[in-house]
């Protein structure tokens, strides 16, 4: 079991990458390889060209500029896990990363790879959804930005033409004091989530919800934002009833069913995990509330 023959390209600059993408057909982009390499080894995919992104320094930046966190596509999951910037500005991403595979796979796996592979149950796309991330794409027709809401076209299909590459993303961290939480349920540690929930919540001076963001992975083919609940709880004082109401909205989501888990079970998990994650985020936001 090993990959079928392919032509290997390892461009050193973004311009070279774009040049190659404009010329080759049936190519696969290789970032951390934690999803593509298994598919190559098992010959689920038989590309004529493999274009390795790992030797392009322009794709591995991680910095804050103009209030945005800019993350290059080949930044490793392990680097995000250790980053002081992410710890300070976006700790919920690190909480989610603790659930992504194992430390050995995080040493290779990249954020761009997770977002491009777009497994329905992958954790990092849920974080991108939570922050309404903007994704940066490059190709022979130039660069374009894609809002995360427009990123997933369908099952494991990002908004990316065959000759384009995801080169990075930007997140807007919340400036105001807030609480965050990520919780998931998986059958074994390191497995993809059956359902995962990420929450951000900021409270106003009176202890009411100023704004909230809630995203779920695993429930549908792509991450889902619970926008109706986010709107419903704005301006409201958190209470057990409010949490129950939000959980009920999560339970009404259309959910996938597969050979392991029924849609009804996913809906139950969505409700329970949403309630718990929101309660945890509220507690971390420091509100003196009754939940």
Partner 1 sequence: MSEKRRISLTVNGKAVEREVETRTHLADFLRHEIGLTGTHVGCEHGVCGACTVLVDGAAVRSCLMLAVQADGAAVTTVEGLARPDGTLHPLQTAFWEHHGLQCGFCTPGMLTSLAAYLEAHPNADEPDIRRAISGNICRCTGYQNIVAAALDAARVMREGR
Closest to partner 1 by CB, 2 vs 175, is 2
Among 4-12, 195-203, 219-227, 279-287, which window interacts with partner 1 (CB under 8 A)? Answer: 4-12
Measured from the Cβ of residue 220, the count of other Cβ atoms closer than 10 Å reads 17
CB of 93 to partner 1, least distance (A): 18
Q: Does 10 bind partner 1 (CB under 8 A)?
A: yes
Sign of CA dihedral 231, 245, 118, 75: positive
Q: Does 78 bind partner 1 (CB under 8 A)?
A: yes
Q: How far is CA 144 from CA 29, 70, 159, 178, in A?
A: 18, 15, 11, 31
Spatial distance between the Cα atoms of 13 and 6, rounded to a whole number of angstroms = 21
Do 279 and 287 form a contact (C-beta atoms < 8 A)?
A: no
Gyration radius from the chain CA atoms: 19
Q: Does 190 bind partner 1 (CB under 8 A)?
A: yes
Q: Which positions from 99 through 128 interact with partner 1, judged by CB under 8 A?
A: 101-105, 107-108
- For 172, which DSSP code? -
Q: Does 5 bind partner 1 (CB under 8 A)?
A: yes
Compose the 23-52 pattern: x for residues touching partner 1 by CB under 8 A, - for all others.
-------x--xx--xx-xxx-------x-x
The number of residues that bind partner 1 (CB under 8 A) is: 31
CB of 71 to partner 1, least distance (A): 19
Closest to partner 1 by CB, 77 vs 274, is 77
Token pair in block for residue 31: 């970032």
Spatial distance between the Cα atoms of 97 and 100, rounded to a whole number of angstroms = 5
Token pair in block for residue 9: 């390209």
Enumerate binding residues for partner 1 (CB under 8 A).
Answer: 1-8, 10, 30, 33-34, 37-38, 40-42, 50, 52, 54, 78, 101-105, 107-108, 188-190
């Amino acid at each position: 079991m090993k990959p079928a023959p392919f032509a290997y390209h390892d461009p050193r600059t973004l311009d070279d990458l774009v040049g190659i993408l404009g010329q080759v057909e049936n190519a696969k982009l290789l970032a951390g390889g934690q999803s593509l390499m298994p598919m190559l080894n098992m010959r689920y995919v038989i590309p004529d060209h493999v274009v390795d992104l790992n030797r392009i320094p322009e794709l591995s930046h991680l910095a804050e500029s103009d209030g945005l966190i800019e993350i290059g596509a080949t930044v490793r999951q392990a680097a995000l896990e250790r980053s002081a910037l992410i710890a300070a500005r976006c700790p919920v991403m690190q909480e989610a990363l603790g659930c992504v595979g194992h430390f050995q796979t995080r040493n290779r796996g990249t954020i761009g790879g997770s977002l491009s592979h777009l497994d329905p149950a992958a954790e990092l796309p849920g974080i991108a959804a939570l922050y309404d991330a903007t994704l940066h794409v490059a190709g022979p027709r130039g660069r374009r930005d894609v809002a995360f809401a427009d990123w997933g076209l369908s099952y494991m299909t990002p908004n990316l033409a065959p000759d384009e590459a995801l080169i990075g993303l930007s997140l807007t961290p919340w400036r105001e004091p807030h609480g965050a939480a990520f919780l998931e349920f998986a059958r074994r540690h390191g497995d993809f989530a059956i359902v995962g929930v990420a929450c951000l919540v900021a409270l106003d001076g009176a202890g009411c919800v100023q704004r909230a963001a809630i995203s779920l992975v695993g429930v549908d083919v792509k991450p889902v934002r619970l926008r109706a609940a986010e709107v419903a709880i704005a301006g409201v004082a958190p209470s057990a009833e409010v949490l129950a109401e939000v959980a009920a909205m999560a339970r009404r989501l259309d959910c996938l069913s597969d050979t392991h888990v029924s849609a009804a079970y996913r809906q139950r998990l969505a409700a329970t995990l949403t309630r718990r994650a929101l309660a945890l985020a509220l507690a971390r936001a420091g509100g003196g509330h009754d939940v």
